[in-house]
Structure 1
Amino acid sequence: MSVAGLRRAARESVSGLPREFWWLWTSTLVNRLGAFVATFMTLYLTLERGYSASFVGLVVALHGLGGVVSSLVAGVLTDRLGRRPTLMAAQASTAFSVALLGFMEQPAAIAAVALLVGMTSNASRPAVQAMMADIVRPADRVRAFALNYWAINLGFAVSATVAGFVAEYSYLAGFLGEAALTLVCAVLVYVKLPESRPERTAAEVADAGPEIGLGTVLRDGRFMGVVGLSFLISLIFMQGSFGLPLAMGAAGFSTADYGLVIGVNGLLIVLLQIPVTRFIEHRDPQRLLVISALLAGYGFGLTAFGGSVWSLALTVCVWTLAEIVNSPTQMGLVARLSPLHGRGRYQGMYTMSWAVASLVAPLMAGFAIEHFGAAWLWGSTAFLGTLAAAGYWLLMRGLPAEGPGGVEGSAEPAEPAVAAELRPKAASGS
C-alpha cells in the first residue's frame, strides 16, 4: 500500500468519532501508561519485601476479588449517579489507594490495601464502557471499542518497559507515578467530559415499567449467555499470563524466553488492531465471534506442540489474532444488548466476568500443570474454545440485524441519547 493509501486508511479509522470520545480515549491511554501495580505487584512483594509465594498468591487473589466486588457496585453507581461522577470517584480513589500501598509494610495492611486497589481500579470500567456507548453512534461502536483497546495495549506496552527501569531505582517511585497519572485522568474527566447518561423524556417516565436493576440483568437470558461466554474466553486468554509462563518454566525456558514470546502479543495488537478492525467492522458479528473463539482455543492448544521459542511465538500470533477480533466485537455486542437506561449495570456484570476469570485462571493453570501436565491445560483451552464457539453460534441465532442506526426493534434511538453538550455543533442547527 502506498503512503497516501496508508494515510487515507488512518484517517478513515479515526474519522467520524465525537471529540468527547477522544478525551475518554486519552484518559484510557494515560491511565494505562501508569499501570505499575498490576505489572510489578508479584516482583515487588517477592524481591523487595521478601514475602513467600503463598502470601503473594493471597494478595493477588484479594486484588482480583476487589475487582469482582466493585464491578457490580460501580455498574449500579454508573446508572444512578452518572458516568462522570463514578469515573472521577474511581480514579481519584485509585490514585489514593495505589499511593497508600507503596507505604504499607505490615502483611495485613498490604493485603487490605491490595483489596482496596483491586476495588477502586476496576470500578472505572463500567463507567468508561457505558459512556463510550452513550457518545458513539451504534454503527461506529466496534471501531471505537477497538481504538480504546488499542490504547490500553499501547499504554501497557510503554508502561511495562518504563516501569521496569523505574522499579530498579525505586518501587515506591512506581507506585507514586501510577497514582499521579491516575489523578491526571480524574482531572481530565472533570475538565473535558460532561455527563453522558441519557435522561428519560416525559413520555419515557410516564410509560416506564419497573426500574432496571441487577435482577433485570440476571433475568436477561441472552445477555447472561454473553457474560458466561465472556468468562470462558477470558479463561482462555488469561493463560497467556498464567499458564504459559508456568508451562515454559517447567519445560526449562528462561524468563527472558517468556518475555520474548509474550511480547509478540502486545506488538501484534499495537500493529494490527486498527487495520484488522477496519476489515471486520461491518461483518457478521456471529461469525467473527465463532471464528475468534476457535482461534483462541486452538491457538493456545497448539502450545502443547511448541518446542522452541519461535514455535511458541507462532502460537501467540494465532491467539492474538483471536483477541484482536474478539474484544471489540464482543464489547460491541454487550453495548448492543444493554438497554439505554441500564448500561451501567449491564457493563458492570460484563466486567465482572473478566474479574472472576482472573481469579479462576491461575488456579486452573496451576492445578492442571501440577497434577496432569501442561498438555492437559492446552487441551482444555481447545475444548473451552470449541464450547464458546458453539455458544456464540447458538446465542446469536435470531438476533435482529443491526443497521446503521442501531438494533432493529430495540428501544435505542437511531442517535445515541446523550447530553445536549455532547451533540456535534453542526447537528444542532443554527
Structure 2
Amino acid sequence: MKWKDWDRNLKVRLFGEFLTNVLFWMFFPFMAIYFSEHLGKELAGILLIASQLVGVFTGLIGGYCADKFGRKKMMTISMFGQGISFVCFALANSPWLESAMLSFICFSALGFFGSFYWPASHAMVADVVPEKHRNEVFAVFYTAINISVVIGPILGGILFFEHRFALLIASAAASFLMTVLIYKLIRETVPIYKEEVSTGTEKQKSNLRHVIKEQLKDYKVIANDKAFLLFIGGGIFAAQAFMQMDLLLAVYMHEKVPLQELFSIGDWSVSVEGEKAFGWIIAENGLLVALFTVFISKWMTKYNERNVFVISSCLYGVAMLLFGYTISIWVIAFGMLIFTVAELMVVGIQESFIAKVSPEHMRGQYFAAGSLRFAIGRAIAPIAIPLTVWIGYEWTFNILFLSTLLGALMYVWTFRLIRIRKIS
C-alpha cells in the first residue's frame, strides 16, 4: 500500500505518535530504576502491579468507549489527559518539589489514559485499511514507534537523570500538540451499527450503569470465544517476558553490569556501565525493529500463524536465559537480538489475527480484549523485581523462561480450536 493511498487519519497519527513516542522513550525505560531506588524493590514492585491491574480494566472500558462513542473522541480525550498528567509529573520532579509517590501517581495516570487511546487507535487502522494491507500498515506504525526507541533511550540515559523536569515539560507540550492535531485533522471512522430494539421500548439513557451493563453483555460474547481466550492467555505469558525489557533487565543491568569497554580504535574507546549500558541495549532493540519490521512481517505471512506464534514465544524464553546468566554487555546484546526477532515475528500478524476473528461492530472491544495480553502481562511482570530479592536473578529468569514455554503451548491449543471450529 503506497503512501499516497494512505488515509489522512493514518498520516496525521503517524507523525504525532512518532513525536510523542520519542519523548516517551526518553523516560519510560528508566522508571523501574527510578522507583526501585526511591521506593525500594518490594514497594516499587507492588505499586507497579497495582497500577497495571487498573490498566487491565480501563483497557476494556477503552475498547467499549471506542465502539460506542467514537475513535476520534476517545483519542482526543486520552491525549489531553496525558498532557495534564505530564504537567503534574513534571511538577513532581521540579526545582520546587520532588516526590517519588506523586511521580508514581502521574505515571499510573499516563497508563490510564493510554488504555483509552490505543484500542481506538488500533481499531481506526482496521476501519480505514483493507484487510490485505493491514499487516503492512500495522508494521509501518510499529517501525515508527521503534525508530523513536532508537533515539529515546540513548538521549534519556543522559537527560532523564539530569534534566527530568525539562523532559517531562516537553512531553506535556507534545501531548497537547497531538490533541490539537487529532481534533482538527482526523475524522471519525467508527462503523455505524444499529441494535434492534423491541417495539414501544424507549431508548435508554447513556448513564454509567447502562454503559457498564452493555459493556459486560458485549464482553460476555468475547468470553465465550474459547479460541480467542486461549490466544489472550498465550499472549499474556509472552508479554510478561517482553515487558521485562523495561523492568527486570533495567534493574539487573543497573545493579550487576560493571563498567565495560564496548569497542576501541587505537587510543580511543567507548566504555559504559549500568543504566547507560541499558540505554544502548534498548536502542539496539529499537534500531533492529526500525530496520527489519516490515521485512520480517511480510516474511512471516508466508508461514503458518500457529508456528510463528509458538516459535516467537520460545525465542523470548531463550533470551531470558541469556540475560540471566551473564554480565557481559555483548552477550546481553546477543540476547537482545534473539529477543527482538521474537518480537518482530508477531508484529503484523497479531493485530491482523484480531481484526480477522472479530465482528465488525465489536472490533474495538476485540482489540481491547486482545490488549489484555499486554495489560495483564504488564501487571504480572513487576512481580519479577521483588522476586529477585527472595530467590535471586538466575531463578527469576528461569521462571520467566518456563512461562514462555507455557505460552507456546496455549498458542498451539488456540489454533487447534480454530481448526475444529472451521471444520464444524
TM over 0.5: yes
What is residue 269 of structure 2 aligned with on the other side? none
2:41–2:385 contact (8 Å) kept in structure 1: no
What is residue 14 of structure 2 aligned with on the other side? 25
Query: Cα distance, 1:322 vs. partner?
Result: 0.7
Q: Deviations over 1:370-428 (max 9, x none)?
A: 33333323333332222222221221136379xxxxxx99xxxxxxxxxxxxxxxxxxx
Do the aligned partners of residues 149 and 304 (structure 1) sit closer, same or farther apart at CA in structure 2, a change above 3 Å counting?
Answer: same
Query: Cα distance, 1:313 vs. partner?
Result: 1.3
What is residue 355 of structure 2 aligned with on the other side? 335
Residue 88 in structure 1 maps to residue 76 in structure 2: yes
For 2:64, the aligned partner's letter is V
Residue 196 in structure 1 maps to residue 189 in structure 2: yes
Do the aligned partners of residues 14 and 103 (structure 1) sit closer, same or farther apart at CA in structure 2, a change above 3 Å counting?
Answer: same
What is residue 239 of structure 2 aligned with on the other side? 234
TM-score normalised according to structure 2 size: 0.80
Matches within 5 A, 1:271-420: 271-306=291-326, 308-367=328-387, 369-397=388-416, 399=418
Do the aligned partners of residues 281 and 163 (structure 1) sit closer, same or farther apart at CA in structure 2, a change above 3 Å counting?
Answer: same
Higher mean Cα deviation, 218-227 or 257-266? 257-266
TM-score normalised according to structure 1 size: 0.79
Do the aligned partners of residues 206 and 144 (structure 1) sit closer, same or farther apart at CA in structure 2, a change above 3 Å counting?
Answer: farther
Is the partner of 1:175 in helix, strand or coil?
A: helix
Do the aligned partners of residues 213 and 327 (structure 1) sit closer, same or farther apart at CA in structure 2, a change above 3 Å counting?
Answer: same
For 1:81, the aligned partner's letter is F
For 1:308, the aligned partner's letter is S
- In structure 1, how many angstroms separate the alpha carbons of the residues matched to 2:412 and 2:34? 43
Aligned counterpart for 2:87 among listed residues 82, 99, 109:
99
2:67–2:362 contact (8 Å) kept in structure 1: yes
- In structure 2, how many angstroms separate the alpha carbons of the residues matched to 1:397 and 1:13? 36
Do the aligned partners of residues 358 and 108 (structure 1) sit closer, same or farther apart at CA in structure 2, a change above 3 Å counting?
Answer: same
Aligned counterpart for 1:218 among listed residues 213, 217, 223:
223
Do the aligned partners of residues 15 and 296 (structure 1) sit closer, same or farther apart at CA in structure 2, a change above 3 Å counting?
Answer: farther
- In structure 1, how many angstroms separate the alpha carbons of the residues matched to 2:286 and 2:196? 46
Q: 5+ residue gaps in structure 2?
A: 199-213, 259-272
Query: Cα distance, 1:317 vs. partner?
Result: 0.8
* Aligned positions, number: 385
For 1:160, the aligned partner's letter is P
- In structure 1, how many angstroms separate the alpha carbons of the residues matched to 2:285 and 2:404? 18
Q: 5+ residue gaps in structure 1?
A: 1-11, 402-407, 410-430
Do the aligned partners of residues 165 and 304 (structure 1) sit closer, same or farther apart at CA in structure 2, a change above 3 Å counting?
Answer: closer
For 1:99, the aligned partner's letter is V
Residue 128 in structure 1 maps to residue 148 in structure 2: no
Do the aligned partners of residues 258 and 127 (structure 1) sit closer, same or farther apart at CA in structure 2, a change above 3 Å counting?
Answer: same
- In structure 2, how many angstroms separate the alpha carbons of the residues matched to 1:115 and 1:251? 28
Residue 71 in structure 1 maps to residue 76 in structure 2: no
Residue 38 in structure 1 maps to residue 28 in structure 2: yes
- In structure 2, how many angstroms separate the alpha carbons of the residues matched to 1:51 and 1:398? 45
- In structure 1, how many angstroms separate the alpha carbons of the residues matched to 2:255 and 2:80? 41
Do the aligned partners of residues 245 and 33 (structure 1) sit closer, same or farther apart at CA in structure 2, a change above 3 Å counting?
Answer: closer
- In structure 2, how many angstroms separate the alpha carbons of the residues matched to 1:383 and 1:57? 21
Q: Deviations over 1:5-55 (max 9, x none)?
A: xxxxxxx786754443232322321221221553454566688xx665666
For 1:85, the aligned partner's letter is K
Is the partner of 1:397 in helix, strand or coil?
A: helix
Query: Cα distance, 1:195 vs. partner?
Result: 0.9
What is residue 180 of structure 2 aligned with on the other side? 187
2:241–2:316 contact (8 Å) kept in structure 1: yes
Is the partner of 1:197 in helix, strand or coil?
A: coil
- In structure 2, how many angstroms separate the alpha carbons of the residues matched to 1:113 and 1:258? 24
Is the partner of 2:188 in helix, strand or coil?
A: coil
Is the partner of 2:322 in helix, strand or coil?
A: helix
Matches within 5 A, 1:48-63: 56-57=44-45, 60-61=48-49, 63=51
